[in-house]
Structure 1
Amino acid sequence: MSVWDELVGQEPVVQTLQRAVEDAASMTHAWLFTGPPGSGRSNAALSFAAALQCEEGGCGHCRSCTTARAGSHPDITVIRTDGLSIGTDVAREYVRKAALRPALGRRQVLVVEDADRLTDQAANALLKAVEEPSAYTVWMLCAPAMEDVIVTIRSRCRPVLLRTPSAEAIAGLLVERDGVEPELAGAMAAASQGHIGRARGLARDPQARERRRRILALPAGLGTLGDCLAAAQSIHEEAGERSAAIADAADERELDDLKQSWGVEERGRRPTGYAGSLSSLEKDQKRRRTRLTRDAIDGVLLDLLSFCRDVVVAQQAPRAALVNADVAESVRSAAGVWTVESTVARIDAIVEARESLTANAAPLLVLERMMMEFLPR
């Protein structure tokens, strides 16, 4: 299995990257991977990074390929964040690393997973390194769209556009790589709407599938204003619990690391400057928790959006394929009760809710307002 095998439905991208690995004339020092969520931006960058270190161009079996896949290759650095942004201090740290010679591999590769989260100051700190890198350094930036990266950086990068993979391609990957039963793989690939990671999570986690079924059943249970408020509260609380499950462990680990770096003991005196570092850490952790909660809510909204889309399809194009074919009966039931106009109004309400969350509106109020659109008309 080569490093390229998991880039399903991205044949043109694979050809471009393979050509760059094999032909120095096709290689450049900075790349910008863009594409919709779930298209595999980071996977493409990491596969490319592994292939650049491999003597055989990404065989998938040598030490370079296996350590790259495990995240332990000393010359492949992945810059990611759990917070809302990547700050100047982080950017400068990796700019210094980019100037070092490779320890074992042929190149020093730095992958910025969320380049759209670089602050303007951090992006400017990165600019010089991207503009004039050393001969053995390669930068790989990942973002949803070209416009999400400041023009001074994106103009110096070679663009790589990934597309949304087909449900058939994702299902094939789940069957071959993860051993998922074909029928389940097909249903979850369709439900993921082209998001490989989500499809894999649904296929492998019965609890995730049950949570999705509960979400898709919500519209049928909303008969009163009280039902709407209760549903909104349930979504908000569950999102908070899911974010806490991730954030609590990370918070504790980061606090321990901070204490060790400052030599802080439980009952000892606090060194000068420690309070400021602790305050900065707590702010970053709060932002991360907020983002995780809103990401979880957004996942619910996307499921509801796909359900409403299916209702419109059932109303207007009965022969077209459904995203949520595994709950086709519920879709047809709603299609028989809702009008096309009310379904479109519900879609508009979900889209508005997503935009409000992006604008930092209070999540619970946003959910309550949206749920009211699902009341019978």
Structure 2
Amino acid sequence: MSVWDNLTGQQDAIATLRAAASTDPGNSAMTHSWLITGPPGSGRSNLAYAFAAALLGDNEDDETTRRQVAARTHPDLAVLSTERVIITIDEVRTLVSASQFSPSVGRYRVVVIEDADRMTERTSNLLLKALEEPPPRTVWILCAPSEADLIPTIRSRVRSVRLRMPAVADVAALLESRDGVDAATATIAAREAQSHIGMALRLATNPEARARRRQTLQTALGIRSVSDAVVAAGTLLAVAGDDAKAITEERDAQERESALRSLGVAPGGTVPPALRSQLRALEDDQKRRATRSLRDGIDRIMVDLLSLYRDVLLLQLGVDEEPINESIRPDLDAAASASTPATTLAVMDAISLARRRIESNVAPALALEAMLVAISRHSTR
């Protein structure tokens, strides 16, 4: 099995990285620092780790290396994947120190930074120094939504590989072949996730996630007044909270169990006072992850709402294209006939404004209320 097999819809990017990882004598396609960009769900980190496995293995079919990279246990692989809103300077400083060592078993030492756009300018400047004078066999792989998310001096020192959003058919085919999802469910999930691979998998395999998404759409369609909007804001916050909890709860429990086991504490046993600080540090990390997961959940709601009103607008304009939310087609038809394209565009503007406000650290509850009040003003009474 090749390291590239579970990637979909990115043939050009794969060809570029495959050429760079080649062991052929005189390979001129390789460079010491890379930036993989693409919209959320396009598979940036998946491609980064496939590239890492190709660089670290004897060949792209090296199963042992592929498994080690997937488990993040390869001795020549260093990874920074934050659960916080920002990547701290201490995290990057530690990574830069690790990048100075020579590889122990592979051809290269590979350093992967997911969400490199979460670095502050000061942190980015620390990384810049490492990119300017890297050891000869160290390779940096950064991931970010776009080149513009990084400072210009870093952009000038990396080779960029741009990903596109894979087609619905490609994502559905991946869910079928990799995860055993039936064809109909895979297609619906891929369409409703708008080709976001991770979200498509959740929708295809988790009935509760599908129910929460449908509740989001029905809540927005039911708004007719300001009071409806206020109630709906609370409902959507609760939906986002439930979604975030579903994502983090199981992982938190597994991490705590693993930590207790490594500390030698039996299940259900009392944690000695000397060890409690380590558990508190874990709990603090989990709280930060829960905060980020909630923000991500709220943003997913916004994306789903934009897809809803995009469908309504296309129906109003008579565009012959299958709606993203075909499963609620009667509701879409009713909404399209009850308003005009101008009011639908105004609603979409309100949703986009709410996303920008939340990104600027406006309280999500306030941003949601303002957005839904704007929707109520454009709804037919």
Q: Same fold (TM over 0.5)?
A: yes
**Equivalent of residue 48 in structure 1, options 48, 51, 55:** 51
| Structure 2 residue 15 is matched with structure 1 residue 31 | no
Q: Given the alignment of the two structures, is residue 226 of structure 1 paired with residue 224 of structure 2, yes or no?
A: no
- Alpha-carbon distance in 2 for matches of 1:194, 1:91: 31
**1:154-303 correspondence runs (5 A):** 154-244=155-245, 250=252, 253=256, 288-303=289-304
Q: Is the partner of 1:293 in helix, strand or coil?
A: helix
Question: What is the identity percentage for the equivalent residue pairs of Structure 1 and Structure 2?
Answer: 43
CA contact 1:78–1:110 (8 Å) conserved in 2: yes
Q: Is 2:63 the counterpart of 1:82?
A: no
**Residues 295-346 of structure 1: CA distance to partner in whole angstroms, max 9, x if unpaired?**
1111111111100000011111242121112222211121111221211111
Return closer, same or farther for 1:16/1:244 CA change in 2, 3 Å cut-off.
same
Superposition map of 1:87-98 within 5 A: 87-98=88-99
Change (3 A) 1:21 1:346: same
Does 2:10 correspond to 1:10?
yes
Once the two structures are superposed, residues 134-189 of structure 1 have per-residue CA deviations (whole angstroms, 9 ceiling, x without a partner) of 12110000011111111222211111111111111111111111111111111111
The secondary structure found in structure 1 opposite 2:306 is: helix
Give the C-alpha shift of residue 70 in structure 1.
Answer: 2.6
Give distance in 2, aligned partners of 1:88 and 1:243: 27
| Cα deviation, residue 130, structure 1 | 1.4
User: Where do residues 117-136 of structure 1 align in structure 2 (5 Å cutoff)?
Assistant: 117-136=118-137
Query: Given the two structures, how large is their TM-score scaled by the length of structure 1?
Result: 0.88
Query: RMSD between aligned alpha carbons?
Result: 2.7
Asked whether the equivalents of residues 39 and 164 of structure 1 are also in contact (C-alpha less than 8 Å), the reply is yes
- Give secondary structure in 2 for the equivalent of 1:159: strand
Whole-Å separation in 2 of the counterparts to 1:210 and 1:350: 21
2:266 counterpart residue number: none
Q: Show the counterpart of 1:343.
A: 344
C-alpha separation between the residues in 2 aligned to 1:130 and 1:370? Answer: 42
Q: Secondary structure at the match of 1:26?
A: coil
The DSSP-based 3-state class of the residue aligned with 2:320 is: coil
User: How many residue pairs end up in the alignment?
Assistant: 365
Does the 8 Å CA contact 1:87/1:121 hold for their aligned counterparts?
Answer: no
Match of residue 327 from structure 1: 328
- Are 1:349 and 1:373, in contact at CA under 8 Å, matched by a contact in 2? yes
Give the Cα–Cα distance (whole angstroms) in 2 for the partners of residues 2 and 126 of structure 1.
31
- Alpha-carbon distance in 2 for matches of 1:319, 1:269: 63
In the TM superposition, what are the counterparts of 1:350-361 in structure 2 within 5 Å? 350-361=351-362
Which position in structure 2 is the counterpart of 1:316? 317
Q: Which runs of 4+ in 1 moved over 6 A?
A: 280-285
Deviation at 1:281, TM superposition (A): 8.8
| Cα distance, 1:245 vs structure 2 | 5.5
Give distance in 1, aligned partners of 2:256 and 2:184: 40
Can you give the 5+ residue segments of structure 2 that lack an aligned partner in the other structure? 264-270
Q: What is the rounded CA distance, in whole Å, between the counterparts of 2:140 and 2:273 in structure 1?
A: 44
SS of the residue aligned with 1:373?
helix
Shift of 1:287: 5.1
Give secondary structure in 2 for the equivalent of 1:32: strand
> TM-score normalised to the size of structure 2?
0.88
CA contact 1:83–1:285 (8 Å) conserved in 2: no
